[in-house]
Structure formats: structure tokens, C-alpha cells
Amino acid sequence: MVGKLNRLPAETQKALQLFACMGNSAEFEMLRMVYQDSVEDMHDHLWEPVRLGLIFRADASYRFLHDRVQEAAYSLIPKGLRAETHLRIGMLLAANTAEAKREEAVFEIVNQLNRGSHLISSVEDRERVAGLNLMAGRRAKASTAYNSALKYLRAGSALLTEETWERNYGLVFAIEYLMPNVSC
């Protein structure tokens, strides 16, 4: 399978790698944000794998034929670059998702960000990602998914430091308060 993918044009390989990071299927909207491309270019890049039956194109999303294909595409990303790739995808999704839709897409966004969040160095970005984890934690709690909620809140808390109590009190208080509320 990897050999088959390797024979595809470099641009297409790259498109499949990013797609594989996002899961078994991805909506056009999300893929386009990550490719930073026009809709036409996105479909162009994915035309060849569609023709070969590696992925399917539905009304509003693409889907891998099989988990094995997704895994093979994912394996094309060098191990050392995977966390960074997820982080970049998460950042692009966060930046390009409209404010009104952010809450709805928050799980997809933080699931990407958290796989590379240890690489974030700027305090502002760490707080921003912690804020998205807080949002995800609240949403998970609202649907009584306490284990997931705790996972997001812990991820958020890990991004903050002592100084956050001075810099961004509301954020750290909300996370620290919510954590015991979902861990009992």
C-alpha cells in the first residue's frame, strides 16, 4: 500500500498525509482549511486517489476506503514530524473556523492541537489552546462524558503555569474549578 501511495505525485501524497491526520473521513470545509487551498485545487489533488479507489468522495466529505489506507498515508509522515503536523492542522482549524462554529468543531480542533501541544512555546498560544480545551471540557461535561471532560481539562491545565494566575485568572480558575467537578 505504501508503495502504491509513493508513486502518487508529491502534492497528492502531502494532501493524503494531512487527510490521514484528520481521521477516517473529513469534510471538504475542514480539508480546505488545512490545505489552505481553493476548493478546486483540493479536488484536483485528491482526484487521482479517488480514481484509484483509495478514497471516496461523498457530497460534502472525503473518506478513506479502509483504515489500512489511512494508516499507510499516515505512515508516510516521518515520525519526528507527526506531532508538529497535528499541531499545525489544529492551529489552522482554530484560526479558520468562524467564532459561531468554533464550539461545534472544538473537539476536532483540540484533538489535533493536543497531539502537538507540548511543542507550543509562546504563552499566548498556550493560553489559547488551554481555552479551547476548557471549551471542549465544558461540552463534554454537558453531555456527561466525564472522562473526556477530564482529559481535556488536564490537557488545558498542563499548558498553564503559576504565572497564569496573574496573567489570565479567569481561565485557570475555570479549569481548576471544573476539574474536580468531573473527576468524582
**Residues in the site for another protein, rule: CB under 8 A?**
165, 169, 173, 176-177, 179-181, 183-184
- Residue 174 CB, nearest approach to another protein (Å): 10
Query: What distance in Å separates the CA atoms of residue 20 and residue 22, rounded to the nearest whole number?
Result: 5
Closest to another protein by CB, 6 vs 181, is 181
Closest to another protein by CB, 50 vs 179, is 179
- Residue 162 CB, nearest approach to another protein (Å): 10
Closest to another protein by CB, 37 vs 176, is 176
- Cβ-based neighbour number of residue 69 at 10 Å: 21
Q: Find residue 27's DSSP bridge partners.
A: 61
Name residue, grid cell 487521482.
48
Strands lying side by side in the sheet with 55-57: 25-27, 61-64, 55-57
- Cβ-based neighbour number of residue 40 at 10 Å: 8
Residue count (the chain): 184
- Residue 144 CB, nearest approach to another protein (Å): 10
Closest to another protein by CB, 56 vs 169, is 169
- Residue 113 CB, nearest approach to another protein (Å): 24
Query: What distance in Å separates the CA atoms of residue 9 and residue 15, rounded to the nearest whole number?
Result: 10
